[in-house]
Chains A and B, each alone.
Chain A
Amino acid sequence: MADRTNRLGLEITPYRGGKTTLCAGCGHNAISERIIDAFFDLGIDPRRVLKLSGIGCSSKSPAYFLGAAHGFNAVHGRMPSVGTGAMLANGKLLAIGVSGDGDTGAIGIGQFVHLMRRNVPLIYIIEDNGCYGLTKGQFSPTADIGSVLKNGVVNDLTPIDTCALAIQLGASFVARSFSGDKKQLLAILKASLSHRGTALIDVISPCVAFNDHEGSTKSYAYAKDHDEPVDEVSFVPFFEDISIDYDPGTTTEVKMPDGSRLYLKKVAEDYDPTDKLNAMRVIHETARRGEFATGVLYIEPDKADFLTLLNLVDEPLATLPLERVRPGREVLDEIMESLR
């Protein structure tokens, strides 16, 4: 096969990563594949990308995509702070963080909450399987009520819905998908790459070792049967001619900050992803039916991101020359005079 190149003239190799050490059939591997596709298709230079993660099966995956990018495997549940700091240092880079449901919903819930509030430009993927795979299957905070561990322990606690939580916290891009839905996940990832602000993508990703049994909403069989798309997502990058033919009566167009377009074909009646209250209603209603709504659930494309709010200079703070970060002698003299 002749090697395909993208608009940067790059082959797919620098977008690939090391060989996965996760289980065969793990949903996380499928997600890594879609990330590779999305970055390759959009022609994003991997050397301008920061890959971040916490700890857990999910957090191992940045080693399996975008090998040419810089990566940072942080401590458990604290990827948001490391990502925030990195983006403060160099807002020209593009950050993608991968977390899990335990890394986000349990130990990392505090940092998750504040990342959403700050709207730091960063794609935040939760590889959500409802359990702790790396430590052999304990419940995570997204585990279903009534689900049963192999040793018979039953989960009695209400799961956290990270998407509903994120919307409430003021997140500006919130989506949910399923690791096995190649088309939808790819379109959502591409859209998130054009979003300026935090893009939360919760991806249901079955754990084949510990949580793929009957009755688990995070199993393949369940997810395939109960995935209720609220919209069918298509994404057109700003550099491509728009040639998709959508029926205007059933399609919403969302203009992204960089000029690209996100098309949401309304499978559900009148789904408007900019309507926050409706998004919350849809999430809770589908959950009550034992289903999960997928697609771009909520988007606020014009919300100011954290770097804009901080009014930073255009150049990366990391590489400002000394004369721009050390005030002159007259400044020290002035301060000394004020202290006399």
Chain B
Amino acid sequence: MVRHLGAALARVWTLEPGAAVLYDEPLKLNTLRSDLVFYPVPFDKIVAEVCKDAKLRRLVKNMIYDGVLSQLLGIELAEMERALRRQLGKKVKAMELNLAALHAGFAYAEKTFTKHDPYWVERMDKTAGMILVEGNAAAALGAMMAGVTVVAWYPITPSSSLPETLISYMKKYRVDKKTGKATFAIVQAEDEIASIGMVIGAAWAGARAMTSTSGPGISLMSEFAGLAYYAEVPAVVFDIQRVGPSTGLPTRTAQGDIVKAALLSHGDTKHILLIPASVEECYTMAMAAFDLAERFQTLVFVMSDLDLAMNTWMSTAFTYPEGSIDRGKVLDAATLKRIGEWGRYRDVDGDGIPYRTIPGDDMPSYFTRGSGHNDKGQYSERPDDYVNNMHRLARKFDTARRYVPGPEYLDTPGAQIGIIGYGTSHWAIEESRDQLERETGTKTAYLRLRAYPFTPDLAAFVERYSRVYVVEQNRDAQMLSLMRLELPPDLIGKLRSVLHFNGLPIDARSVTDEILIQEGKKERDAVRAPVSAALAAGGE
């Protein structure tokens, strides 16, 4: 239900021909286009009849909308009442008022409209066995199953519901039955700097530790992120992306923190990113993040976004994790015997990953520092110590390419162009690929990235197609910028951008139109002008 005129106008202009528009009569949306089906409803008039108290009218208007909609779509009124009762069953007065509004809407539609659109609802069993869950709840569940023990966080939209859901799960399922004591510590810190500080302290002392935040919090964590990279402390950071820069649009969605998170902190710093596209991946990647963090003794960022995190998505039920967890290279007596001399930052195995010890475990101690150090962890400003250490860290990052989740690859026979996407852009891209083929016969291949650093699949994909469109929900083509840092010039030359960054989740039409324009199959003006005009008219 669109409440703002400008947004309503823009929405009408972007609808597919034949779509149905149910709107507040005074908006006169029916004057905008002739290829849509319009159902005007005088909400203010109807609500005044069913709700005597003027102050409450705003609250029940939406039930009139639901009443009209259920009549138009053929949803049985009894089902609507059942859903309403589940929400308000115990509140007698509210129930009465909302029921009256529902019926009024239904009756109005019955007496006023003749159905001209082809959309209806009917009973099916396609959702059998499926679950409904928000990305943040799915990630919280993954973190619990990963065995997280220390969580520090600071409230911020759209991240807060992740730790809050985690608290409710942990209180129920992670309290020792015999003693009533907790196998976890969750702390609401004084700010994001303290959150990441606690997480790093806990991880250093051997806990599986995490925090969850959004853009402004990521910015604040920058200095500590560099310490974790350089001192090699494993921890997980969930970044539930919202629109920046600065406070930006805090309740809108974006993929705007990709570059920031990948390179967070000063100096030469790089971090592992995991990018879920579905609630199921929020769950599985939460678990993978802890394993990767400990395997590589570094921060791992899970790059969710508001759309995924706070909206309810349908999914197949999550499966129980098989096997154990990977706690990485923690020195024990047997390993010490095998490797002889231990140094905290010695590359014993040639993969760049050193062995760590955990305070209190009776293995050798060391001094953890963000200042320059040699492979024994001792303070050093020697040029060769610095350079060797930085090369080893780069080698470790390269090793990570073999461990991070690889991309999902979908080819179509005869595809000329490729599309690369990641995170929640996936759903719009899937639909757009259908539109491209159906409307203009444009066949596409698709690579959905799931992690940074990139795996060799990326270069192979770009190699295979003549033009490759990188679809992102930010202004500056952030993922494409990261690709430019590694791909050879001839492959970079094939990359093009499809960008969507107005705060709303990316839609298939935007992807399709932009690709068609760049392919020379559509005029840019034909797409842009009406929407701009509509927004101008709406004054927003």
Chain A residues packing against B (C-beta within 8 Å): 47-48, 50, 52, 62-63, 68-75, 78, 80-90, 92-93, 110-111, 113-114, 307, 310-314, 316-320, 322, 324-327, 329, 331-332, 335-336, 339-340
**Is the Cβ of B202 less than 8 Å from the Cβ of A86?**
yes
Give 5 CB contacts A-B under 8 Å. Answer: A52-B201, A81-B193, A81-B196, A85-B203, A314-B181
Residue among B200, B359, B362 having the largest count of chain A Cβ atoms under 10 Å: B359
A82 to B320, CA, bound (A): 33
Given contacts A85-B202, A85-B209, A313-B181, contact A92 B370 (CB under 8 A): no
Please name the residue on chain B nearest to A72 by beta carbon: B368
Given contacts A73-B368, A88-B207, A324-B183, contact A78 B150 (CB under 8 A): no
A128 to B359, CA, bound (A): 29
**Is the Cβ of A85 less than 8 Å from the Cβ of B132?**
no
Interface of A is mostly: helix
- Of B141-149, B411-419, B530-538, the one with at least 4 CB within 8 A of chain A: B141-149
- Which residues of A have CB within 8 Å of B145? 326-327, 332
A100 to B150, CA, bound (A): 28
**Is the Cβ of B198 less than 8 Å from the Cβ of A317?**
no
**Is the Cβ of A317 less than 8 Å from the Cβ of B207?**
yes
**Is the Cβ of B180 less than 8 Å from the Cβ of A70?**
no
- Which residues of B have CB within 8 Å of A307? 185
**Is the Cβ of B183 less than 8 Å from the Cβ of A320?**
yes
Please name the residue on chain A nearest to B131 by beta carbon: A339
Interface residue B321 (Cβ < 8 Å from any Cβ of A) = yes
The smallest C-beta distance from B173 to any residue of chain A, in angstroms, reads 4
Residues 92 to 150 of chain B near chain A (Cβ within 8 Å) = 129-133, 141, 144-150
Please name the residue on chain A nearest to B206 by beta carbon: A318
Q: Which 7 A-B pairs have the closest CB atoms?
A: A85-B201, A81-B197, A318-B206, A325-B147, A85-B198, A85-B202, A82-B201
The smallest C-beta distance from A39 to any residue of chain B, in angstroms, reads 14
Given contacts A86-B201, A90-B360, contact A316 B206 (CB under 8 A): yes
**Is the Cβ of B317 less than 8 Å from the Cβ of A88?**
no
Given contacts A86-B205, A314-B181, contact A74 B358 (CB under 8 A): no
Interface residue B223 (Cβ < 8 Å from any Cβ of A) = yes
Please name the residue on chain B nearest to A310 by beta carbon: B185
**Is the Cβ of A86 less than 8 Å from the Cβ of B183?**
no
Please name the residue on chain A nearest to B190 by beta carbon: A114
Residue among A82, A113, A114, A313 having the largest count of chain B Cβ atoms under 10 Å: A82
Q: Which of B179, B204, B362, B379 contacts A86 (CB 8 A)?
A: B204
Chain B residues packing against A (C-beta within 8 Å): 129-133, 141, 144-150, 152, 169, 173-174, 176, 179-185, 187, 189-191, 193-209, 223-224, 227, 317-318, 320-321, 324-325, 357-362, 365-371, 379
Q: Which of B129, B169, B184 contacts A335 (CB 8 A)?
A: B169
The smallest C-beta distance from B125 to any residue of chain A, in angstroms, reads 13
What 14 additional pairs, Cβ within 8 angstroms, besides A75-B224, A312-B181, A340-B131? A62-B367, A70-B368, A73-B369, A74-B201, A85-B197, A85-B201, A87-B205, A93-B359, A111-B190, A313-B176, A326-B146, A327-B174, A336-B131, A339-B132
- Which residues of A have CB within 8 Å of B362? 47
Q: Which of A74, A313, A327 contacts B370 (CB 8 A)?
A: A74
- Which residues of A have CB within 8 Å of B203? 85, 89
A2 to B207, CA, bound (A): 42
**Is the Cβ of A317 less than 8 Å from the Cβ of B184?**
yes
The smallest C-beta distance from A90 to any residue of chain B, in angstroms, reads 5
- Which residues of A have CB within 8 Å of B207? 85, 88-90, 317-318
**Is the Cβ of A327 less than 8 Å from the Cβ of B194?**
no
- Which residues of B have CB within 8 Å of A90? 205-207, 359-360
**Is the Cβ of B193 less than 8 Å from the Cβ of A310?**
no
- Which residues of B have CB within 8 Å of A325? 147-149, 174, 183-184, 208
**Is the Cβ of B131 less than 8 Å from the Cβ of A316?**
no
Residue among B223, B317, B357, B365 having the largest count of chain A Cβ atoms under 10 Å: B365
Please name the residue on chain A nearest to B150 by beta carbon: A88
A327 to B182, CA, bound (A): 13
A87 to B321, CA, bound (A): 29
Please name the residue on chain A nearest to B180 by beta carbon: A311
**Is the Cβ of A88 less than 8 Å from the Cβ of B185?**
yes
A70 to B204, CA, bound (A): 10
A73 to B201, CA, bound (A): 11
- Which residues of A have CB within 8 Å of B371? 73
Q: Which of A85, A111, A310, A316 contacts B200 (CB 8 A)?
A: A85
**Is the Cβ of B365 less than 8 Å from the Cβ of A322?**
no
The smallest C-beta distance from A265 to any residue of chain B, in angstroms, reads 37
A81 to B223, CA, bound (A): 14
A262 to B26, CA, bound (A): 80
The smallest C-beta distance from A47 to any residue of chain B, in angstroms, reads 6
**Is the Cβ of A75 less than 8 Å from the Cβ of B370?**
yes
Given contacts A93-B360, A318-B205, A327-B173, contact A81 B198 (CB under 8 A): yes
**Is the Cβ of A50 less than 8 Å from the Cβ of B205?**
yes
- Which residues of B have CB within 8 Å of A69? 365
Please name the residue on chain B nearest to A332 by beta carbon: B320
The smallest C-beta distance from A187 to any residue of chain B, in angstroms, reads 28
Given contacts A75-B223, A317-B150, A318-B149, contact A310 B365 (CB under 8 A): no
Q: Which of B144, B148, B169, B365 contacts A47 (CB 8 A)?
A: B365
The smallest C-beta distance from A51 to any residue of chain B, in angstroms, reads 8
The smallest C-beta distance from A216 to any residue of chain B, in angstroms, reads 29
Given contacts A73-B370, A78-B193, contact A317 B149 (CB under 8 A): yes
Given contacts A68-B365, A72-B201, A81-B194, contact A88 B187 (CB under 8 A): yes
- Which residues of B have CB within 8 Å of A336? 131, 317-318
